[in-house]
Structure 1
């Protein structure tokens, strides 16, 4: 039986994953930001799971929380950094305060939890870190630039981390979902306070489109959860796991675009070296 530490299990993919892991018979340690949700969850699941109150933007709380969990449950076999926020707005429309809020939740919180859990995984020479990114962590979209930047950052450090910890028996996987039928496009979505008319056909159109797909997304969170569990239990888990037809399409578009640029500038690139 594995102990899973999953952040952000109040709704969406985090909730579905927690339920699927419990159904499998593994033990879930999940986080909420609401005390009553913690109490309700612990009453409902008792010996099958445990939840705690945690704000992932609070570094000291993270350190205290992880130490207590190790003391109480002995180990964390799987860390799933799921908690985060969405944000829509053109780059120029977004204030630095709004950018910092997005990065505190999506990047710094994920980074700090990863850093705090790693010493315990290194000690036992095993563990699996699963970072919930997005297809938007590979390809950027007009109106989604700040969110994209936060997920690009998660992908960047996680790709390097995977190479650093592989010799230590620790695995890292990055999950890249497309649109899933969660509350991401409604309750989980922040909007830039400022709207500039010149961006109405780009960022503005994206904002409208995202609101319009709420509740109609193609992705099934339960099926995605089972795919993540299968990945964790596989012999050789891959670094990346795209989820959904839209994710496959957009990631392929990005790869094709990069390949096209490489081919177009191949001669130029080769000619700027000595000799």
Structure 2
């Protein structure tokens, strides 16, 4: 089994921590990033020199490139990037402030873009590498109260679908990770919220109740899926995590196809 070098952003908790530990248990090396480097102390205490802790705010493009340089200086190569840093913003479209919108897009979209751009020259020269972009079930369908979050995830879906077609010629693989609800802090401590407008309170209550009834997955159960993915010779462009996504996505896509077909004559007359 070939040992690999991973760079994982947002490693202090949740998926990032689980996947970093899975890589380290596999015998690999991990460059683990977080805004607060102290949050990585548990990983370094357990795994020592196999971990390279890096303080990183992905909103800083220069810092992203410097982080990749540190990985190469320490480990000499980079096999896997997992773009995991990001957060969810809750707010109905009318409620979202300019600052809230910009923060969501800056972190989830531009932060991912900067990291991808930073690793590509390394992976091109190696003629190998795998970029895993954390998206969401919210990257392929949308719900009320998460409009700007969906905008960010639909953006990285398009970005990485193009990326996949551009860099496959260099031996670089691309995969979008699309989880449903998991027992992380994504919807609680890690989330941000707009100032509510009262006219949406009725729908807000329904959505909160629906989220409370939604089954959540165990983040630890995702480790084996990520390991299978990075060991695959032909990994998929998209991978759901959990039982829920396909159950929700299939009727959504069927409805889209039905609508396009229903309006087919109108569409064709517009040729």
User: How does the TM-score come out when normalised to structure 1?
Assistant: 0.93
Which residue is equivalent to 2:149? Answer: 147
Q: Is the Cα–Cα contact under 8 Å of residues 177 and 240 in structure 2 kept in the other structure? A: yes
Which residue is equivalent to 1:14? Answer: 16
Matched, 1:34 2:36: yes
Matched, 1:158 2:156: no
Number of aligned residues: 269
The one of 62, 65, 79 aligned to 2:64: 62
Which residue is equivalent to 1:94? Answer: 96
Matched, 1:118 2:120: yes
Q: Is the Cα–Cα contact under 8 Å of residues 175 and 236 in structure 2 kept in the other structure? A: yes
The one of 249, 258, 261 aligned to 2:259: 261
Looking at structure 1, the residues matched to 41 and 90 of structure 2 have their Cα atoms a distance apart, in angstroms, of: 33
- Runs of at least 5 residues in structure 2 that lack an aligned partner in the other structure: none
Q: Is the Cα–Cα contact under 8 Å of residues 158 and 172 in structure 1 kept in the other structure? A: yes
Which deviates more from structure 2 when the two are superposed, residues 219-228 or residues 80-89?
219-228
What does the per-residue CA deviation read over 1:73-125, in whole Å, with 9 as the maximum and x for residues that have no partner? 11110000001001111010000100111111111100100011101101111
Q: Is the Cα–Cα contact under 8 Å of residues 143 and 207 in structure 1 kept in the other structure? A: no
Partner of 2:178, secondary structure, is strand
Which deviates more from structure 2 when the two are superposed, residues 103-112 or residues 196-205?
196-205
Deviation of 1:17 (Å): 0.7
Q: Is the Cα–Cα contact under 8 Å of residues 81 and 131 in structure 1 kept in the other structure? A: yes
Which residue is equivalent to 2:248? Answer: 250
Which residue is equivalent to 2:227? Answer: 229
User: How does the TM-score come out when normalised to structure 2?
Assistant: 0.94
Deviation of 1:64 (Å): 1.4
Deviation of 1:42 (Å): 2.3
Which residue is equivalent to 1:201? Answer: 202
Deviation of 1:48 (Å): 2.6
Looking at structure 1, the residues matched to 7 and 22 of structure 2 have their Cα atoms a distance apart, in angstroms, of: 13
Coordinate RMSD, CA, aligned: 1.6
Q: Is the Cα–Cα contact under 8 Å of residues 138 and 254 in structure 1 kept in the other structure? A: no
Looking at structure 1, the residues matched to 96 and 221 of structure 2 have their Cα atoms a distance apart, in angstroms, of: 34
Deviation of 1:207 (Å): 4.5
Q: Is the Cα–Cα contact under 8 Å of residues 11 and 40 in structure 2 kept in the other structure? A: no
